[in-house]
Amino acid sequence: MCGRFAITLPNDAMARLFTAAPANDLPDGPNYNVCPTTRIHVVAGSEGGRRLVGMRWGFVPRWYTSMSDGPLLINARAETIAQKPAFREACRERRCLIPVSGFYEWTRDSSGVRWPWYIKGPDTLALAGVWQNWGRGGESVESCAIVTTAANAAMSPIHHRMPVVVDRADWGLWLGEEGHGAARLMRAPDEGLLRFHPVDRAVNSNRASGPDLIAPVSRDNPEPSQ
């Protein structure tokens, strides 16, 4: 599962990092509380080279008559993505990278209280994604979903699912620039890649914003447990 994340890298730095041509209407940043249905930064391949564009986070299948015609598809499971009607064509033809500075997950204590954690790498993470161009009645939108897989041992105390993180050396393969073989990338990252720390419960609100959301906080129960 990946249902909330942060992106703090400026647009021009993001374009340089991914060697991508930036669109003119990229989302504003930084954003420390990116929520589903938000327009997010996406790196997609094209015949003219990589492009950095804004897409709706919430994949809209072609057969939806409106963007809210069915379930909100923010994640696509790696184990079934090639078989699911919503994702199987995009998995073959429209893979993308979603830059994030880190993402959030939650655990619950014995009282049912949700406690947030911020998970990050040593640098900007490139999450595996798939995208779709949907249109009805003159309305058109590009939308995407994050590919997830079973959590590795380091992540599993917080959540049983995690995003697929694509190593920099594999960006071209995932984007379809280097032939076939992208399926092998849909796995959990090495256990040493990600670090996590508890953050303030303010992030439980999708209206919260600001850098304090990712700042470490002290807790009486600092160790994650589900």
Mean pLDDT score across all residues of the chain: 94
Q: What is the pLDDT of residue 2?
A: 87
Q: How confident is the model at residue 188 (pLDDT cuts 50, 70, 90)?
A: very high
Q: What is the pLDDT of residue 221?
A: 63
Tokens for 181, please give them. Answer: 């073989």
> Comparing C-alpha atoms, which of 58, 213, 207 is closest to residue 141?
58
CATH number for the domain formed by residue range(s) 5-214: 3.90.1680.10
Q: What is the pLDDT of residue 219?
A: 77
Average pLDDT, stretch 203-214? Answer: 96
Q: What is the pLDDT of residue 222?
A: 58
Q: What is the pLDDT of residue 109?
A: 87
Q: Point out the least confidently predicted range of 88-92, 107-111, 182-186, 222-226.
A: 222-226
pLDDT digits (tens, 9 = 90+) for 212-222: 999 999 877 65
Q: What is the pLDDT of residue 139?
A: 84
* 166-180 CB burial, b ≥16 within 10 A, e <16: beeebbbbbbbeeee
Do 91 and 82 contact (CB within 8 A), yes or no?
yes
> Comparing C-alpha atoms, which of 52, 58, 47 is closest to residue 25?
52
Do 142 and 23 contact (CB within 8 A), yes or no?
no
Whether the predicted pLDDT of 112 surpasses 90: no
Backbone angles phi, psi at 140, to 5 degrees: -135, 140
Average pLDDT, stretch 175-204? Answer: 95
Burial class from Cβ neighbours inside 10 Å (0-12, 13-18, 19+) for residue 96 reads: buried
Average pLDDT, stretch 42-62? Answer: 96
Average pLDDT, stretch 65-94? Answer: 96
> Comparing C-alpha atoms, which of 22, 33, 10 is closest to residue 203?
33
Q: What is the pLDDT of residue 225?
A: 55
Do 96 and 130 contact (CB within 8 A), yes or no?
yes
Region of 137 please: left (phi>0), alpha (psi -120 to 50) or beta: left
Q: Give 100's strand partners.
A: 125
Average pLDDT, stretch 180-198? Answer: 95
